[in-house]
Amino acid sequence: MAYSDKVLDHYNNPRNVGSLDKGSRHVGTGIVGAPECGDVMKLQVRVNESTGIIEEAKFKTFGCGSAIASSSLATEWLKGRTVDEALRIKNTDIVTELSLPPVKIHCSVLAEDAIKAAINDYKAKQAGGAAVTPAVAETVAG
């Protein structure tokens, strides 16, 4: 299968790889997917509490090149957005930007799910005060 230049670029030079402190109340963590399905994405955001703006986004992905590219792109798009703006990122935006073929659309869906899971985790932490749950439990159905 031929990969688009943008997928290759994200694969070769993934942006924002890494991890944030999942215990911090400013950090939202989303982990979606399953090892037996062949892809797991971990996406984290660090939000400025007073402005609601995402100041940092990090990812780690187990998956094919398109899954890596989708999550790498997602972290680029998240930085500088408010949490509510982040929730408006759609998987179809990722498909268009990366020119993903039909068989790779699920990679973009997973990235959208990861964004939602991370934002929801952040929101739950804010609402629940100090209630910090292990990141791995903070997942949504994909």
Partner 1 sequence: MPMPIYMDNHATTPVDPRVLDAMLPYFKDQFGNASSRNHAFGWQAEEAVEKARKQVASLIGANSKEIVITSGATESNNLALKGVAEMYAERGNHIITAATEHKCVLDTAKRLEKQGFRITFLPVMQDGLVDLDMLREAITDKTILVSIMYANNEIGVVQPVAEIGKICKERGVLFHSDAAQAAGKVPVNVIADNIDLLSMSAHKMYGPKGIGALYVRRKGPRVQLTAQMDGGGHERGMRSGTLNVPGIVGLGSACEIAQKEMPEESKRSAYLRDKLKDRLLAELDEVFINGTMERRLPNNLNISFAYVEGESLLMGINDVAVSSGSACTSATLEPSYVLKALGAGDDIAHSSIRFGIGRFNTEADVDYVAAKVIQVVKKLRELSPLYEMVKEGIDLSKVQWTAH
The CB-of-50 to partner 1 minimum distance in angstroms stands at 30
96 binds partner 1 (CB under 8 A): no
Helix, strand or coil, per DSSP, at residue 43: strand
The torsion defined by the Cα of 7, 81, 47 and 117, in degrees rounded to 10, comes to -60
Which of 74, 78, 107, 115 is flagged as catalytic? 107
The CB-of-115 to partner 1 minimum distance in angstroms stands at 14
Active-site annotation holds for 64: no
- Tell me which of 20, 27, 32, 73 binds partner 1, using CB under 8 A: 32
Site string for partner 1, 100-129 (x = CB under 8 A): ---x--x--xx--x----------------
Residue recorded with tokens 């890494």: 18
Query: Which sign does the torsion angle of CA 125, 122, 109, 9 carry?
Result: negative
Name which of 106 and 125 has its Cβ closer to partner 1: 106
Residue recorded with tokens 């997917």: 33
Strand pairing category for 39-47 and 54-62: antiparallel
